[in-house]
Structure 1
Amino acid sequence: MRTIKLTIEYDGTRYSGWQIQPNGLAVQQVIEEALERLLGEAVRLRSSGRTDAGVHARGMAAAFATHRDLPLRAFVEGTNRFLPDDIAIIDAVEVRAGFKPIKDALAKHYRYTIRVSPVRSPLHRFHAWHVKDQLDLAAMEAALSAFTGRHDFAAFRASNCVSRTTVRRIDSVAMSREDDFIFIDVVGEGFLKNMIRIMVGTVVDVGKGRFAPDHIAWLLQNRDRKKAGVTAPACGLCLMEVFYPPDDGKGEELPISRPAAF
């Protein structure tokens, strides 16, 4: 029995999220059906986590077990033949038996994209949050710096989040701008439901002048979701990469001080 780890890219616009569910088409379901057509056997993908409806991925990691003795390129090229245009297998590596994509992950890198413009863009509507107001970028950078480290993120989770603990470690947060686009890159060990989207929504409220930059530190201390900002739209969020120890399927070293290069 072999264990194969896939790196997957997808546009999440028309999907109900990563995980199979009774109501709606999930990315996981589409890939499992494609693998079954390739392998002639049913497989179950175990992923590095979930993405919500409308969230995208450039580097989702998922693994499955198979008896088939195919070359690794066949898991990429062969599976892609049965996938729609908005999902693709980017890479496949064989990993050790017992590899667990979610438990073995060191950290994940997410990127949130904001487009600041008085006029909406039809071409970017599914991949960026359109914000009409001009934003105070210096205030936003000052606010973002408070997130780094290990904190209680109770103020930055969805009301239906079922995680037993709200403490999470953030390794790095960085913001950059290119023309009308603002990119917020977050690397951390794991995230609560809607955590990054609420972080971004709150920081955008700082940029609009609704909150002072030190409000982030106050929220981390007081844990009050009602005093945080809006939940940013799903369309702007993308899972860029999942980091593993180097011996776990050609994993990459974890970038502690900066986001991954791309």
Structure 2
Amino acid sequence: MRIALGISYLGTAYQGWQSQPSGRTVQDRLERALAEFSTQPVSTLCAGRTDAGVHGLMQVVHFDTPLRREPFSWVRGTNRFLPADIAVQWAQAVPDTFHARASALARRYAYVVLESPVRPSLEAGRVGWVFRPLDDAAMRAAAVHLHGEHDFSSFRASECQALSPVKDLRRIEITRRGAYWRFDFEASAFLHHMIRNIMGCLLQVGQGLQAPDWLREVREARSRDAAAPTFAADGLYFLGPRYEPHWGLPERSAAYDWLP
């Protein structure tokens, strides 16, 4: 049978999601825990790979297994073998036609940034940081130039393996709570480092170092050299994919209520 899992993790200690020879990735730790619980090798496929230091509120994976267990058993049994910074949030049997990556209609991310003269301490690794004041109106005006379907080559890492740089960026929402800014992104899919490179540009505009229309020039240049440096991964959270309702999968986890 095919099982889908919702996974949350703090990415600080890991070399990203995807399995590496070092074994220090979220996928490696998850698959080892699943193997311990099920007493057989388990191979997972995820909805969206995340970089080193990026956190996950609800990564979705699927795997095939001959074992039949109740959903709560997959949750509690697997979590028994996982470290404290990774946890299975839910489990659900799905049809064989479900695919965690191919069935996703969109992916969602949030970036949390602290605006403060002093660097973060308690929230170190969990937020990005700028020490200059940010201009809300300027960043919103700049974000408009990225909405819709575009060639995002200017925001693409050189090692990106995507077949096409054209993506449909459906939403950029900017909100603030006290000293903390939150940037929400939703797109059909994202290129490698795409959000971190967009964030670098938005923050240049927000700090008054570039005009809002500069972001249109960057996009149209279709060159990574035209954009700002890649922003830190610390405050980036993968909120999870969106699926058609008929799959019956959760769209959020408890961690959504914790994130600013």
Give me the TM-score of the superposition, normalised by structure 2: 0.94
Paired residues of 2:7 and 2:56 also in contact (CA < 8 A) = yes
Quote the Cα distance in structure 2 between the aligned partners of 1:88 and 1:58: 10
Cα shift readout 1:214-235 (whole Å, capped 9, x = no counterpart): 1111222221221211211011
Distance 2:6 2:26 in 1: 13
Do the aligned residues in 2 keep the contact of 1:7 with 1:61 (CA within 8 Å)?
A: yes
RMSD between superposed Cα atoms in Å: 1.3
Is 2:29 aligned against 1:30? yes
Give the Cα separation in 2 of the matches to 1:204 and 1:24: 34
Determine the structure 2 residue equivalent to 1:8.
7
- Return the alpha-carbon distance in structure 2 between the equivalents of residues 65 and 119 of structure 1: 48
Q: How does 1:131-210 map to 2 (within 5 A)?
A: 131-210=130-209
Partners of 2:44 and 2:163 in 1: how far apart?
A: 24
Q: 1:23 to 1:36 in 2, by over 3 A?
A: closer
Structure 2's unaligned 5+ residue stretches are none
- Deviation at residue 98 of structure 1 after TM alignment: 3.1
Structure 1 distance, partners of 2:86, 2:22, is 20
Assess if the C-alpha contact under 8 Å between 2:48 and 2:101 holds in 1.
yes
Match of 1:239 in 2: 238
Q: Which amino acid aligns with 1:242?
A: P
Give the Cα–Cα distance (whole angstroms) in 1 for the partners of residues 223 and 16 of structure 2.
27
Tell me the SS of whatever aligns to 2:51: coil
Superposed CA deviations along residues 136-160 of structure 1, whole A, max 9, x for unmatched, are 1110111112211101100001122
Cα drift, residue 164 of structure 1: 2.2
Residue 68 (structure 1) shift: 1.1
Instruction: Kindly report which structure 2 residues correspond to 1:6-85, keeping only aligned pairs within 5 A, or say none.
Output: 6-23=5-22, 25-85=24-84
Contact 2:114 2:180 in 1 (8 A): yes
Q: TM-score, normalised by structure 1?
A: 0.93
What CA distance in whole angstroms lies between the structure 1 residues aligned with 2:101 and 2:229? 28
* 1:106 correspondence with 2:105: yes
Contact 1:20–1:27 under 8 Å retained in 2: yes
User: Residue in 2 aligned with 1:250?
Assistant: 249
Describe the SS at the equivalent of 1:13: helix
- Paired residues in the alignment total 253
Which segments of 5 or more consecutive residues in structure 1 lack a partner in the other structure?
A: 253-260
CA distance in 2, matches of 1:129, 1:189: 24
For the residues of structure 2 that align with 1:202 and 1:78, how far apart are their CA atoms?
43
Cα displacement (A) at 1:23: 3.3
Partner of 2:91: 92
Higher mean C-alpha displacement, 139-148 vs 194-203: 139-148
Match of 1:125 in 2: 124
Contact 2:3 2:63 in 1 (8 A): yes
Separation in 1, partners of 2:102, 2:65: 20
SS at match of 1:123: coil
Could you tell me which residue of structure 2 aligns to residue 256 of structure 1?
Answer: none
**How much does 1:162 deviate?**
2.4
Structure 2 counterpart of 1:213: 212
* Deviation larger for 34-43 or 7-16: 34-43
Cα pair 1:175 1:184 within 8 Å, conserved: yes
Shift of 1:124: 1.2
Q: Distance in 2 between matches of 1:127 and 1:197?
A: 14
Give 1:250 shift: 2.7
Distance 2:210 2:204 in 1: 6
CA distances 1:176-223 after superposition (whole Å, capped 9, x unpaired): 001110000001110000000000110000011221101111222221
Q: State the secondary structure of the residue aligned to 2:185.
A: strand
